[in-house]
Amino acid sequence: MGCKYMRKKKRMGTLIRRKYISLFFLFIISLLFVIWPLCLLLAASFMPEDELFSRYLSVLELGKAPVKPAFLPTYPSIMPFKELLLHSPGFFVMFWNSCFQVFSVLAGQLLVGMPAAWAFARFNFRWKKGLFLLYLILLIMPYQVMMAPSYLVLDRLKLIDTHWAVILPGIFSTFPVYVMERYFESIPNAYLEAAWVDGAGALITFIKVGIPMGFPGIMTAFLLGFFEYWSALEQPLTFLKDKSLWPLALYLPNVTADQASLAFAAGIAALLLPVLLYLNGQTYLEEGITSSGVKE
């Protein structure tokens, strides 16, 4: 948005000043709100065990002592990460399990969810509103409620104890349908009419107009879905008995007191992929918006 203001040269001075004040303001907020606690976690992940004990004894529930937070470890050590990456083979297996499960779910969600969202947004058919309401209600069901009957279904399909026990129900989550529907709905009519006039059919219009123009929505659904499934605990725990199929989210709670330093390091390591993905996803998000030409 900034460049648009720039064009008005006479107000530029005040605007730039205002912009920097606001940026500073934003910086303070994010510092207070997010960065500060994150730095604590990051610093703790580089602490050797004895320093952790002297600072965070009560945090680890190992004893009682005042918390002495630090943004920088006194005796920085990469041992926790070394331990995590080199000496816990389970960590890598779980990391790849997580990747496989999460990306399969997301790919499936898009494949199945995009057309469904398109249908809800751009077609009229019998029972549409009822179905949509149903999709929303299913979204709000607490996981405990769905767990037992879902198990029944997965067991009948012989999927228990395979990656697919987690992936398939994830694919058919109604969440991405709902998110994308909203974005598809906001595509201006003119584009669809133009496509129709050009003789494009429903499928072509969906692929040529719907997907590019709904891209921000698709990307949003993708990212939000990623955060959700990356930290999913309950389903894998119930549907996967074989621990070699477990995702990373289940590794973390098992970090015990004598591996205190691992607890922090594992948290930071688990954070890494979402951050990288988000940074990349952001690029696509922006590209998606510009290429769709919503703003022309």
Report the residue from 48, 73, 169, 212 that binds other proteins according to the rule CB under 8 A: 169
Q: Which residues contact 150 (CB under 8 A, 6 or more apart)?
A: 169, 239
d(CA 251, CA 96): 12
Question: How many Cβ atoms from other residues are within 10 Å of residue 216's Cβ?
Answer: 18
Give, rounded to a whole angstrom, the gap between the first and last alpha carbons of the chain.
14
Residue 45: CB minimum distance to other proteins, A: 9
Strands annotated E in 81-220: none
Residue 79: CB minimum distance to other proteins, A: 18
Q: Does residue 279 touch other proteins according to CB under 8 A? A: yes
* Sign of the torsion angle spanned by Cα atoms 211, 120, 152, 234: positive
Q: Does residue 208 touch other proteins according to CB under 8 A? A: no
Name the token pair of 23: 């940026």
Residue 78: CB minimum distance to other proteins, A: 18
Residue 109: CB minimum distance to other proteins, A: 9
Compute the residue count for the chain. Answer: 296
Q: Does residue 223 touch other proteins according to CB under 8 A? A: yes
Q: Does residue 212 touch other proteins according to CB under 8 A? A: no
Report the residue from 13, 14, 148, 199 that binds other proteins according to the rule CB under 8 A: 148
Report the residue from 27, 50, 76, 293 that binds other proteins according to the rule CB under 8 A: 27
Q: Give whichever of 26 and 78 is closer to other proteins, judged by the CB atom.
A: 26
CA distances from 228 to 201, 249, 271 (A): 35, 11, 13
Q: Does residue 14 touch other proteins according to CB under 8 A? A: no
Task: For residue 177, give the 3-state DSSP assignment.
Answer: helix
Task: For residue 125, give the 3-state DSSP assignment.
Answer: coil
What number of chain residues touch other proteins (CB under 8 A)?
Answer: 141
Residue 138: CB minimum distance to other proteins, A: 5
Q: Does residue 263 touch other proteins according to CB under 8 A? A: yes
Q: Does residue 32 touch other proteins according to CB under 8 A? A: no
Q: Does residue 243 touch other proteins according to CB under 8 A? A: yes
Residue type, 190: A
Cβ-contact 228, 236 below 8 angstroms: no
Query: Site residues for other proteins, window 38-67 (CB under 8 A)?
Result: 38, 40-41, 44, 56, 58-61, 63-67
Query: Site residues for other proteins, window 61-100 (CB under 8 A)?
Result: 61, 63-67, 69, 93
